[in-house]
Amino acid sequence: MDETTKKILNDHLTAFGENDLDKIMLDYTEESKVLTKDGVIRGLEDIRAFFSKLFEIIPTGSFFEMQQLSITQNVAHIIWNSKSSVAEIPFGTDTFFMENGKIKFHTVSTYITN
């Protein structure tokens, strides 16, 4: 397990759990891309808007369960589920490709129910 990748992921997940948008954004650069079912999100401004909306669905204190975590070299993959007062996500998966201490590519796939 690559320690740098593990640290970036742990910092990211901690910031996510705290809904700390400023801390989340430290993981990305202007060249970062987040790939979702709705398309590719490019650049810091749009990535910030994506997480801002996501924090409305999964606010601080929501149930979040990590079902699987895999790290190899500079790639991390997680499978998770979550439940909040707003929505239930019985299945979520993210893949992170790290480069130079930042998330270069991040894929997100979720199944959301109300």
* Structural domain count, the chain: 1
Residues 6+ apart with CB under 8 A from 29: 44, 102, 104
- pLDDT tens digit string along 67-112? 999 999 999 999 999 999 999 999 999 999 999 999 999 999 999 9
- What range does the domain containing 29 cover? 3-113
What is the pTM assigned to this prediction? 0.94
What is the Cα–Cα distance from 89 to 70, expressed in whole angstroms? Answer: 20
Cα(53)–Cα(84) distance, integer angstroms: 14
CATH of residue 54: 3.10.450.50
Give the contacts of 56 (CB within 8 A, at least 6 positions apart).
86
- The sheet with strand 28-36 has its strands ordered as 39-42, 28-36, 102-113, 88-99, 75-83, 63-72
pLDDT at 1 over 60: no
